Structure formats: structure tokens, C-alpha cells
Amino acid sequence: MALLEVKDLRVHFETEDGVVQALDGITYSVEAGQVLGIVGESGSGKSVSSLTVMGLTRAKNARISGEVLFDGKDLLKASESDMRALRGDDIAMIFQDPLSSLHPFYRIGDQLVEAVRAHRDMSKAKALDRAVEVLGQVGIPEPRRRVDAYPHEFSGGMRQRVMIAMALINDPKLLIADEPTTALDVTVQAQILELIDRLRQEFDTAIVMITHDLGVVAEVTDDIAVMYAGRIVEYADTESIFAAPEHPYTWGLLKSIPRLDLPRDEPLVPIQGRPPSLILKPPGCSFHPRCPYVRDAHKRIDPKLVGTAEGVNGGRHKVACLLPPQSRRQLWTELVSGATPEDAKQRVVVPEEAVDQEAVDPAAVDQEAAR
């Protein structure tokens, strides 16, 4: 059984402007020692999904449904005090902004000691020893002396390491890292990524890594979930996402970033338009207003996430796209050889009503018929 299993998780927020469908039925699992990357743009729901796992979206206006099984226990049904006991102990989180996540008035050591003593019956001196040990593990030089420092005396990279130390201090089974390196320079980012990789190997920690940076996920993850408008639109092992992506949104992401390893003259192909509003989602496939290969039927039918027949790891690679599988593969082959989406569309003929029946949810069709 996987350590963390998220099943059909939905999180809707009622606001004055309408219901924000932040998460619309996502399912994934992470095992011990595994790193899952969640990739998406702002507003795709990647942060809400992890906050919900931590029980941090329980607001009056939030409607949460589905299951979040951690070690077999449903966290959505857990009491607030149970969640408090779990947070910072078995499940830890690293936030994006290391400056605002540390208390400026307290010494680094005191903050780490508090994190230990909130969960363990341990003397202050012993807890401080533990703090020094963990600070050393995350690469803070002279940890015995630095525990007396205040956060402002540390640089951004060091503060992020303190945050990681705080997350690790109680040996969590699951670590959620929300954009852990976004605020850092590349050189420091490389140090932090190396550290995260070591954790997984030495402590068998399960890690969920949330980021918008495809380079970062390629470095450290085993599996990747690509999110768009509150859904997972593609899920696969990291190799397949980069070698044989199947969703037009993933293609768009891969083609729109400049890369150091490719000849520079390859033009960037931006994804047209912008992410949709989560209050008024487009009907049918949420990506259809921005998809260069959209067919009429895709504007009506909402695709579900289904396993692809072929691919490196048949079945584990899942995609939510209505384009017929062979068209998808032809289109990606064209794009890889340098064709623009326009050219690719010309060369690969996709019939107007072509729909991958696998991806059609019978329930959704019934609903449509009823309307």
C-alpha cells in the first residue's frame, strides 16, 4: 500500500464571485522513498492539493470531498487535534518563501527546539542537540554556533536550509515541498536539490515536490503529474513525460521554455491565451480554448484521465485528452522534429469528430444527453 493515496479529491471554495473549483477530482499516490513532482502554472491547483493533504484548507467556505489516505487513515476525516499531531511530525512541509516562514524574533535554535518539543517529550538540551545535528545534515556550517543566530543573519539559501531542517527534525515519512527552490539562485538551488535527493535515499522519505520548473522536476522526481485548471491532465514516470508526452498542454510547456541543452535558434512556441478562470471553466476539455489541435467535439466532452495503451510503461502513463492516440503520437513526432503547432496540424489530419472513446466518461455523456 502506498504511503499517501489521494483519491478523487475535490476542493471548492465559495466566494462572493462564485464557486472556485480549485481542485476537481485528482487522484495520485506516493510510496516511501519515491519523489512525485506536481507541475502546473499558478491557479492550476497544485498548491491547494498539498495544503489540503496537510489539512490547511479547512475554511468555512471550503467544500472538500474525496479521500486522502495517509498510512491507510483518511486525513479528511481526522480531527483538528489529530492533524496538529501529524503536521510537523509524520508529514512535514517546506514552503516557498523562507523569509516569511521563519519567525524574525526568535533564534533559529529556539524555533527548531519548539518543532521537536511540540511532538516529542524531550528536554530542551536534548532537543537543541537534535537541532544542531539536523542543521549539520542540511549543510549549515558550524551548527553549534549558528543555532543562536536570528533568521535575518542568514542568507536566503541558508534560511531555506533551516526550513528543510525544521521539516526533517522529526523524521517525517512524507515531505511536501511547495516550490522549495523558486526563490533561490541556481547555485543554491543545485545544493538544495542534491540535499532533497539524499533525504530520499538515506531516510526513505516520500516526497511530493510542487514546482513550475520542468528542469527541477527532471532532476529529482520519479513520477510527474501535470496539472491544469484543477485536474491532473497527464501522469507518467519522469522519463515518459519528457520523451513521450501525450497531452498538448505538456507539449506546450516543453516547447515554450528556452533550454541550455538545445541549439539556441530553436524558436520558442508559446501556449496561446492564458489559464482559465476556475469559477467559469470552459465546457468540455478545460484546455480547449488554448489547444491548437482542438476539434468541435472537444468543446463539449470533458475527457477523463485514462491509461495510454502503449508508451514506455503502458498503463502507468495516463492522459486526459480526446485526440485519438495515434494522432497524438504523430503530432508529438512532428513537434519534436521542429514543426510549429500550425505545421503539425497541417501534416497530421485529425477528423473533425475524432474522439478517443477511451477518454470519454460515460456518465458525462449521459449528463450531456439529459441536458
Partner 1 sequence: MSTNGAKGNHLIEVRDLVKHFPLTKGILFRKQVGAVQAVDGVSFDVVEGETLGLVGESGCGKSTTARLLTRLLEPTSGSINYKGQEIARLSRNDLKPLRRDMQMIFQDPYSSLNPRKTVGSIIGEPFAIHGMKTGEGERRMAVQELMDTVGLNPEHFNRYPHEFSGGQRQRIGVARAIALKPKLIVADEPVSALDVSIQAQVINLLEDLQNELGLTYVTIAHDLSVVRHMSDRVAVMYLGKMVEIADRTPLYERPMHPYTVALMSAVPIPDTSRRTKRDRIRLEGDVPSPINPPSACRFHTRCWKAQEICSTIEPPFAELAPGHRVACHFPENQVDLPVPTVRPLS
Whichever of 137 and 189 has its CB closer to partner 1, that residue is 189
Q: Which residues sit at the interface with partner 1, rule CB under 8 A?
A: 41-42, 141, 155-158, 185-191, 193-194, 212-219, 238-239, 242-243, 252-254, 256-261, 264, 267-272, 274-275
- Between the alpha carbon of residue 12 and those of residues 38, 59, 64, 66, 110, the distances in Å are 19, 11, 6, 12, 38
The count of C-alpha atoms lying within 13 angstroms of the C-alpha of 59, restricted to the half-sphere facing its C-beta, is: 10
Whichever of 297 and 336 has its CB closer to partner 1, that residue is 336
> Which is it for the CA torsion 64, 68, 74, 78, positive or negative?
negative
Whichever of 74 and 194 has its CB closer to partner 1, that residue is 194
- Between the alpha carbon of residue 134 and those of residues 86, 99, 131, 164, 227, the distances in Å are 20, 19, 5, 9, 33
Helices (H), ranges, the chain: 46-53, 80-86, 108-117, 124-137, 143-146, 156-168, 186-203, 214-220, 238-243, 248-256, 325-336, 341-347, 362-370
Whichever of 171 and 343 has its CB closer to partner 1, that residue is 343
Whichever of 112 and 195 has its CB closer to partner 1, that residue is 195
Whichever of 67 and 213 has its CB closer to partner 1, that residue is 213
> Would you say 209 and 189 are in contact if contact means Cβ atoms under 8 Å apart?
no
Shortest Å distance, C-beta 273 to partner 1: 9
Calpha distance 303→313 (Å, rounded): 21
Shortest Å distance, C-beta 185 to partner 1: 4
Shortest Å distance, C-beta 39 to partner 1: 9
Shortest Å distance, C-beta 6 to partner 1: 24
Class of residue 15 by CB neighbours under 10 A (exposed 0-12, middle 13-18, buried 19+): exposed
Calpha distance 334→328 (Å, rounded): 10
Calpha distance 230→232 (Å, rounded): 7
Whichever of 46 and 173 has its CB closer to partner 1, that residue is 46
Shortest Å distance, C-beta 232 to partner 1: 17
> Would you say 317 and 247 are in contact if contact means Cβ atoms under 8 Å apart?
no
Shortest Å distance, C-beta 236 to partner 1: 11
Residue with cell 504523430: 330
Whichever of 217 and 306 has its CB closer to partner 1, that residue is 217
Shortest Å distance, C-beta 239 to partner 1: 5
What nine digits make up the cell of 243? 520523451
Shortest Å distance, C-beta 154 to partner 1: 9
